[in-house]
Amino acid sequence: MDDHHHTETATLAMGCFWGPEALFGALPGVVSTRTGYAGGTASEPTYRHMGDHTETVEVDFDPAVLAYDDILRVFWNGHRPENINGYKGRQYQSMLLYRSPEQKDAIERVLEERRVSGKGEPATEIRPFSVFYAAEERHQKYYLKRYPHAVERLLTLYGSIAEMDRSTLAARLNGLAKGYANRSGVLEEISRWPLPEEERERIAACVGSIRW
């Protein structure tokens, strides 16, 4: 579906980044996802040397299909901010990094919605976005890559692992591999992607051939 319209990016952290990448990747309206490190000051962080950064996920989404407000609802319903960090310093911080005044307003709006419904104030760090460092390839689409046959089949559609990782299809199948989506739902969505029919059929056949 990588023929998409205007997209926006949500940058968020809610514990180990593997699960949130799969959670958001399963949502129709999400165009692509990637894991990485953000929120700190250390330069060129890595998984082994994260410094003061946090495991973070970036979600590119089509606001005509999926509102940022709804991403925020999935975010807060998907974790308990006060419970995720344990002994990990800033590695598992709950965090929202807003990229525009509109995103900041949306965060306030959804926070107020939560207050009114009695959910209280989440222990989430909220501040402006500054920089995001992509994580190493092995941390992208982590659950999908636990199925070597799925990767093998997808590489018949994409020229490289990096190209696969950037695709909408890999985002959905990573969600499927974690149990946040099912194959029939993914296939039904593919049938509506704005692509030539022949290409949609090729993608659907590839998905149908994967042994999970």
Q: Active-site residues: which are they?
A: 16
H or E element at residue 54: strand 54-61
CA distance 203 to 70: 28
**Does residue 13 contact residue 54 with C-beta atoms inside 8 Å?**
yes
Helix (H, G, I), strand (E, B) or coil at 194: coil
CA distance 134 to 197: 33
Where does residue 194 rank: exposed (0-12), middle (13-18), buried (19+ CB within 10 A)?
exposed
Helix (H, G, I), strand (E, B) or coil at 167: coil
For residue 114, which amino acid is it? R
Question: Which two three-digit tokens encode residue 117?
Answer: 């419904």
